[in-house]
Structure 1
Amino acid sequence: MKVTMVGISGSGKTAYMSALYETLGDAGQNEAGFYIAPRSVQQFDKAILSVGDFSRFSLADKLKWPDGTQQTTVWPFTVYHNSRPVTYFDWIDYRGGILTEITDTTDTQEAPDMVRSEITDLASHIELSNAVILVADAFVLTYYPNIKEARHRSGARRIHEIFTTYSRIYPNRNLIFVIMLTKADTVDDKWKTDNYAPLIERGLEVFNQMVSLQKQNPSWEGCIVPVSAVGEGNVHRSVTPTEDIKHPFRSEDKIVGFPQPVNAEHVLFYCLGQTLKQMREEAGKSIRQREKELSEILKQAGLVNKIWSLIMRKPDAESIARAILEEKNKDYEILSQFETHIEPLLGKALERVRQIK
């Protein structure tokens, strides 16, 4: 299972990893009984990929922000529920600058080797991902009154370009996506009323193309959720307007209270729960297909079939049926491994996320 996180530089991807560590990592405590831990695997053979040290993201230990993602990193995790392993997944965190380069580079052959390699890897990982997390800074979404400027400044426009192409190339492929509005604690109070309802509506307006793409693709499942790495009142933000059209404001965030992340775990719960749900549906289809094949083959079974098969040196209907039954049992076995975890994951996620219909 693969989950890929994509957002421009400064959108809060690395801070979200901190929130994930505090809520679901070694230090995390949550009522649902789920937690994640890195699993030991060999590194990818490409220089731009590395397996990081999850614990270095702890905000509670240092009370300062971690360094931003300078190098695309793959985090191999195991999900546990009440200390029992549920599933494995790879969490892929792309450096923010790649979003700019992938859309600004008109000819990838002219790009530097490292950039070209990252663009290729990003496309491959999105193609192979079960779920993608689209990261946008909630403060940026609300700072600019012009919706087109908000799309541009937040990276939504570039994300739209990528997934419009994805939809065109893979029209029938399943895709789970989460629009994650980071730094939700820094927006003006008017955006926070009714559990951030105005902020969510603004996010849907900014990401309107993703909403449209989901309506065009019945196999897509999407949601939107505001997230804070530290929680309300635990950061002091100072904003200074500038006269630079490229960077209209400068902001500085200082942690002033003990971090208490908001909604961080629900993003991952949605990704994993929906993916397991899709796997269950695929396994169910496979089982039903094998049952149909089994029924047809057993109709052909009998003494004449056995004799004819012996003469032709081909498997008889009963042998084929036994083989199909073995495959069916394997499907049941796979299904039973995660069946009981789907509803707890999705149920917890849906407490906070808003599904996109």
Structure 2
Amino acid sequence: MKIVELGHTGVGKTTYMASMYGALQKGIEGFTLRASDKSDHTRLLELAKSIQRGKYPSPTDQRSEYNFYLQYQGKDVFHFNWADYRGGALREKQDSEQTQLLIRDLREADGIMMFCDCQALARGDSRTNQIGRIASFINNAINQGLDHPISLAIVLTKADLVEDIDESILSPLKGLIESIKVSELVQGAILPVACGIEPTNVEVPVLFALHVGVYLKAVYLAKEIEDHQKMAEYYEEQTKGIGGFLKELWDEFQGNITYRDLARSRMEKAIEKYKQYEIIIEPTQALSKYIYGEG
């Protein structure tokens, strides 16, 4: 699964990521997060500790990439890639390497996280957030040949510094919100967060984004199990009757693969997939319950 994170320089993405990672080390409803790279793990935890002391990281412009494992009850259940785009890619020309990479990643993404500075929205400043350019990138990705379900989280950073978040604040996002509503493949949410000494809701955007991927993996595994079982039953059926019995004897004598061999192979594959399904079904239900209040 690929998650793409984008937002203008200074909107608070690095602060969010570190705060989110720190919060998920403590566990949220049984879920934790593990960075594949130990240096990423160390860096993010150090940043999270600094943020809780009121020291925030400096804005950066380069694309960063991380690999994480979502864990449930201490076990790895889902691997995902996180591409973090900073303001540089949003300011560059359409044919620049960074911009082309962003366009490709957005089209391949299973989850998109768009970051907006809530304070800037409250004072009517859409330029600081570069909402028009970001929305254009996202609209192109979801309206031009999207062939798979994705999640789209509009993350409002610094929400604790805004007294009232109402529809007027969200007016610069109206076009994008309408695109989400009419799309059958996009599952969207507007999620205010606050990072700092007392982080609020920092785990929600990433768990919302991951829910789509984890759910689809569970659905896919269930379909694979069903297909293998049906084929095993079909092959087993071919061994019945005098004709099937004689063919099995002949194939066995000739050293050919028999229908019974094929049936056994399919059942073994079904059992293998079921073991994977067993690992992921409980986390899938737990995520649904946490995000939507349902199992």
The TM-score normalised by the length of structure 1 is 0.70
Residue matched to 1:94? 85
Residue matched to 2:194? 228
Query: Does structure 2 conserve the Cα–Cα contact (< 8 Å) formed by 1:40 and 1:76?
Result: yes
Could you say if the C-alpha distance between residues 299 and 221 of structure 1 is closer, same or farther in structure 2, counting changes exceeding 3 Å?
same
Which 5+ residue runs of structure 1 have no aligned equivalent? 44-49, 192-197, 231-258, 352-357
Paired residue total: 288
Rounded to whole Å, the distance in 2 between the matches of 1:330 and 1:127 is 32
Residue matched to 1:161? 136
Alignment of 1:140 with 2:120, yes or no, is yes
Query: Does structure 2 conserve the Cα–Cα contact (< 8 Å) formed by 1:270 and 1:350?
Result: no
The correspondence for 1:278, drawn from 197, 216, 226, is 216
The correspondence for 1:288, drawn from 203, 221, 226, is 226
Residue matched to 1:267? 205
The correspondence for 1:171, drawn from 143, 146, 160, is 146
Residue matched to 1:12? 12
Residue 77 of structure 2 aligns to a residue in which SS? strand
Range moving further from structure 2, 293-302 or 50-59 = 50-59
Residue 29 of structure 2 aligns to a residue in which SS? coil
Could you say if the C-alpha distance between residues 38 and 210 of structure 1 is closer, same or farther in structure 2, counting changes exceeding 3 Å?
same
Could you say if the C-alpha distance between residues 93 and 56 of structure 1 is closer, same or farther in structure 2, counting changes exceeding 3 Å?
farther
Rounded to whole Å, the distance in 2 between the matches of 1:271 and 1:15 is 18
Offset at 1:202? 4.2
Q: Which deviations, in whole Å up to 9, do the C-alpha atoms of 1:222-242 show, x marking residues without a partner?
A: 222101113xxxxxxxxxxxx
Q: Which deviations, in whole Å up to 9, do the C-alpha atoms of 1:54-93 show, x marking residues without a partner?
A: 1232234642211113322222223333433333333221
Offset at 1:96? 1.7
Which 5+ residue runs of structure 2 have no aligned equivalent? none
Residue 10 of structure 2 aligns to a residue in which SS? coil
Residue 8 of structure 2 aligns to a residue in which SS? coil
Could you say if the C-alpha distance between residues 318 and 32 of structure 1 is closer, same or farther in structure 2, counting changes exceeding 3 Å?
same
Offset at 1:310? 5.6
Q: For residue 285 of structure 1, what is the amino acid of its counterpart?
A: K
Residue matched to 1:121? 101
Residues 166-245 of structure 1 aligned to structure 2 (within 5 Å): 166-187=141-162, 189-191=163-165, 198=166, 202-203=169-170, 205-230=171-196
Residue 88 of structure 1 aligns to a residue in which SS? strand
The correspondence for 1:319, drawn from 258, 261, 264, is 261
Rounded to whole Å, the distance in 2 between the matches of 1:303 and 1:141 is 75
Query: Does structure 1 conserve the Cα–Cα contact (< 8 Å) formed by 2:8 and 2:128?
Result: no
Q: Which deviations, in whole Å up to 9, do the C-alpha atoms of 1:76-131 show, x marking residues without a partner?
A: 22333343333333322112221222xxx24x2xx4xxxx1x23432343344321
Residue 278 of structure 2 aligns to a residue in which SS? helix
Rounded to whole Å, the distance in 2 between the matches of 1:305 and 1:125 is 52
Q: Which deviations, in whole Å up to 9, do the C-alpha atoms of 1:266-302 show, x marking residues without a partner?
A: 1122122232111111112222222333333333222
What's the Cα RMSD here?
A: 2.9
Query: Does structure 2 conserve the Cα–Cα contact (< 8 Å) formed by 1:214 and 1:222?
Result: yes
Residue matched to 1:75? 66
Query: Does structure 2 conserve the Cα–Cα contact (< 8 Å) formed by 1:171 and 1:217?
Result: no
Residue matched to 1:348? 290
Percentage of pairs with the same residue: 21
Query: Does structure 2 conserve the Cα–Cα contact (< 8 Å) formed by 1:4 and 1:92?
Result: yes
Residue 9 of structure 2 aligns to a residue in which SS? coil
Q: Which deviations, in whole Å up to 9, do the C-alpha atoms of 1:142-188 show, x marking residues without a partner?
A: 211xxxx73x553332233223322344332121221111111122x
Rounded to whole Å, the distance in 2 between the matches of 1:287 and 1:216 is 33
Rounded to whole Å, the distance in 2 between the matches of 1:321 and 1:177 is 42
Could you say if the C-alpha distance between residues 53 and 297 of structure 1 is closer, same or farther in structure 2, counting changes exceeding 3 Å?
same
Alignment of 1:56 with 2:29, yes or no, is no
Could you say if the C-alpha distance between residues 222 and 11 of structure 1 is closer, same or farther in structure 2, counting changes exceeding 3 Å?
same
Residue 207 of structure 1 aligns to a residue in which SS? helix
Rounded to whole Å, the distance in 2 between the matches of 1:72 and 1:331 is 36
Q: For residue 53 of structure 1, what is the amino acid of its counterpart?
A: R
Could you say if the C-alpha distance between residues 66 and 162 of structure 1 is closer, same or farther in structure 2, counting changes exceeding 3 Å?
same
Rounded to whole Å, the distance in 1 between the matches of 2:255 and 2:78 is 43
Offset at 1:215? 4.1
> Which structure shows the bigger proportion of residues in helix conformation?
2
Residue matched to 1:236? none
Q: For residue 24 of structure 2, what is the amino acid of its counterpart?
A: L
